[in-house]
Each structure stands twice: as structure tokens, then as C-alpha cells.
């Protein structure tokens, strides 16, 4: 996690524009502009849409001059969303609050359960007191969202076995939809990064990322339990 107020202060002192990718939390759980950030960025593909059927992005600003500069670049380069994508995102925002509450409710229960499982070495979720930046999260966020990182005990083959055994969770690289997704950065999103570089930034062979969806918590825990026992 990043201390937004500190980053905004440093950026202002250096006459730089501060930008925060707020995709994981959405505007419902964190508002970077309130902490002095100049630009909040969202992948509208994720939580804002919420149904995994849009590709898009958005920049949120409260400076009209900067907005006009970026708007000119957007128009000049052609990065304009289609009308159907725009409508789907607007539709998704109508249920953002209820979805984010359920994402967080499920994620917190899943994170607590994983933290106690003998096959799990470590869990990273801002809503857990064990997270090294839990206090920062509680200060600048109004919630912790639906994204969980876990480190399995064992090696790459143990991770592969676990990922192959899940049934309710879909093995996929996206996030923020109503369905629960699970992915392995070392062999999926960051497979092209050399092992030494991956491990230097913490992407080990046993790191697994979960996007917790809106399914019933009993079904989510049952699927994780049988996969961890596989």
C-alpha cells in the first residue's frame, strides 16, 4: 500500500503530477483526490463495470486545466470508449455499493479462513490486522475490497495442484467481476519476467492471487478446502 497523502505532498513539492491507480478499491472504498492526489485512475473493466463484459478505463480529476489537457490527448490519440461499453459501465455503477460490500464481506471471511489453514504460509489482505500496513489502510480507505494474496506452503508443483483442483473459482487473470477468480502471477501475468526479478519483488512460485466474488461464502470456503486438500 502507498501513503497517498505523503505521495501527494512529495509530488507537489517537486511540481509533479501525482497519479493513483484506484482500481482494486474503486471509488466506493477509496477516494485518492481527497488525499491530495491529482489523478485517480480506474480500469472500468473491473469493479466499476463488475460483470466482466467491458474493456475500458477512466481518469478522475478535480483540476479543470489538467482535465482539458488530458481530454485533448484522449481525443487526438483516439482512446474513446464505445457507446455500449460506456452504457455497461454506467449500469454497473448502479450496483457498485452493494457489490463492493459483498466483495469485502466475502474476502474478509476467506482471508481469515486461509490465515488459519495449515497449507497456507501467509495471507496478505489489508483488512487483516496481520497486514503490515493495516493501520494505513484503515486510515485512508473506508474498506479493504475483494483482492487477496496468499503464499502456499510447498513449491511450484503444490501451487499447480491447488490451482488445478479449484472448481468454483475460475483460473483467470482479470478481477473485479461478480465471479471469483484465481491466478498465479509467476506462471501467468508475470511469466515473461525472469525468475530472479520476480522473486526480488516478492512474486514467488507459491504466491497466488484471488479476486473474491459474490458467491455464497460457504461455497467459496468449501471449494478452497477441497483444493488445498488435493
Locate cell 486510515: which residue?
Answer: 139
Question: Which of 93, 120, 142 is the last residue in one of the domains?
Answer: 93
Q: The pTM is what?
A: 0.93
Range of the domain at 31: 4-93
Count of structural domains, the chain: 2
Bridge pairing between strands 58-61 and 19-21: unpaired
Q: What is the pLDDT, as a whole number, of residue 148?
A: 99
Residues 40 and 101 in one domain: no
Residues 108 and 72 in one domain: no
Residues 46 and 115 in one domain: no
Residues 63 and 87 in one domain: yes
Residues 68 and 105 in one domain: no
**Which residues 6+ apart lie within 8 Å of 144 measured at CB?**
29, 104, 107, 108, 125, 126, 127, 137
Residues 100 and 194 in one domain: yes
Residues 51 and 123 in one domain: no
Question: Which of 93, 126, 157 is the last residue in one of the domains?
Answer: 93
- Edge-to-edge strands, sheet with 39-42: 19-21, 39-42, 58-61
Residues 211 and 107 in one domain: yes
CATH number of the domain residue 44 falls in: 3.40.640.10
Q: What is the pLDDT, as a whole number, of residue 64?
A: 96
Measure the N-to-C terminal CA separation of the chain; round to a whole number of Å. 33
pLDDT digits over 85-139, tens only?
A: 999 999 999 999 999 999 999 999 999 999 999 999 999 999 999 999 999 999 9
Residues 162 and 199 in one domain: yes
Residues 108 and 217 in one domain: yes
pLDDT digits over 24-72, tens only?
A: 999 999 999 999 999 999 999 999 999 999 999 999 999 999 999 999 9
Residues 65 and 126 in one domain: no
Ranges of H-type helices in 57-118:
64-77, 83-93, 96-115
Of 100, 95, 26, the C-alpha closest to 58 is 26
Residues 64 and 22 in one domain: yes
Question: Which of 45, 65, 93 is the last residue in one of the domains?
Answer: 93
CATH number of the domain residue 179 falls in: 3.90.1150.10
Q: What is the pLDDT, as a whole number, of residue 71?
A: 94
Amino acid at each position: 500500500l502507498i501513503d497517498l497523502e505523503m505521495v501527494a505532498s512529495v509530488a507537489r513539492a517537486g511540481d509533479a503530477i501525482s497519479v493513483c491507480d484506484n482500481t482494486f478499491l474503486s471509488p466506493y472504498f477509496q477516494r485518492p483526490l481527497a488525499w491530495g492526489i491529482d489523478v485517480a485512475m480506474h480500469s472500468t473493466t473491473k469493479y466499476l463495470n463488475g460483470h466482466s463484459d467491458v474493456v475500458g478505463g477512466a481518469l478522475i480529476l478535480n483540476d479543470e486545466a489538467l482535465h482539458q489537457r488530458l481530454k485533448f490527448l484522449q481525443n487526438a490519440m483516439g482512446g474513446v470508449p464505445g457507446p455500449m461499453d460506456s452504457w455497461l459501465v454506467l449500469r454497473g455503477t448502479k450496483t457498485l455499493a452493494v457489490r463492493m460490500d459483498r466483495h469485502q464481506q466475502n474476502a474478509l471471511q476467506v482471508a481469515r479462513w486461509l490465515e488459519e489453514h495449515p497449507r497456507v504460509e501467509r495471507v496478505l489482505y489489508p483488512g487483516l490486522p496481520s497486514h503490515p500496513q493495516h493501520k494505513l489502510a484503515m486510515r485512508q480507505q473506508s474498506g479493504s475490497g475483494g483482492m487477496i494474496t496468499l503464499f502456499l506452503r510447498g513449491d511450484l508443483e503444490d501451487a499447480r495442484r491447488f490451482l488445478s483442483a479449484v472448481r468454483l473459482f475460475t483460473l483467470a487473470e482479470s478481477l473485479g467481476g461478480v465471479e471469483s477468480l484465481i491466478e498465479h502471477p509467476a506462471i501467468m501475468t508475470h511469466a515473461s519476467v525472469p525468475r530472479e526479478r520476480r522473486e526480488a519483488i516478492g512474486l514467488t512460485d507459491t504466491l497466488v492471487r484471488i479476486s473474491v466474488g459474490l458467491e455464497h461464502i460457504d461455497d467459496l470456503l468449501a471449494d478452497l478446502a477441497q483444493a488445498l486438500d488435493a
